[in-house]
Amino acid sequence: MTLPTGTPLLEVLLSPEAEQDLLEIYSYTAANAGQEQADTILGKLEQAILSLENLPLRGNVPPELEIVGITRYREIHVHPWRIIYEALEGVVHVHWVFDSRRDVAGQFAQKMLR
């Protein structure tokens, strides 16, 4: 899926996993805090994702991956979520969005094995 943008410097693409992550975040938040809060959170996440078209290298390499020598991924934060992406020539691939309050290493392992 390509997120709607004006005239992007880079194209930002969501993987099916990232789309599913956003749907799960929205559904969980709507069920537990209401649709208005879910809309607000989804808006903040989408805004952060779209901002990658301008400054894709501003994120850091996730420390859990860097320690095992995987440095191709970067992350930005919209507390408490981590948006994991890969900046390639002309395109930014958003791979996953997950909750940093959970077992981070376990989530990385689970998502990378999908």
Within a domain: 87: yes
Within a domain: 6: no
Detail the DSSP E strand segments found in 1-114.
11-14, 74-78, 81-88, 91-99
78 CB contacts (<8 Å, ≥6 apart)?
A: 44, 45, 48
Within a domain: 33: yes
Rounded CA separation 82/29 (Å): 16
Neighbours of 31 (CB within 10 A): 10
pLDDT tens digits, residue range 64-104?
A: 889 989 999 999 999 999 999 999 989 999 999 988 887 76
Pick the more confident residue, 38 or 68: 38
Tell me what pLDDT residue 79 has.
94
Within a domain: 104: yes
**Which CATH number is 48's domain given?**
3.30.2310.20
In the chain, the percentage of residues whose pLDDT exceeds 70 is: 86
Within a domain: 5: no
Within a domain: 1: no
Within a domain: 98: yes
Domain range for 26? 11-112
> Position 53: which residue type?
E
Rounded CA separation 83/12 (Å): 13
Number of domains making up the chain: 1
Within a domain: 4: no
Assign 1 a pLDDT band (cuts: 50, 70, 90).
very low
Q: Quick check: helix, strand or coil at residue 110? A: helix
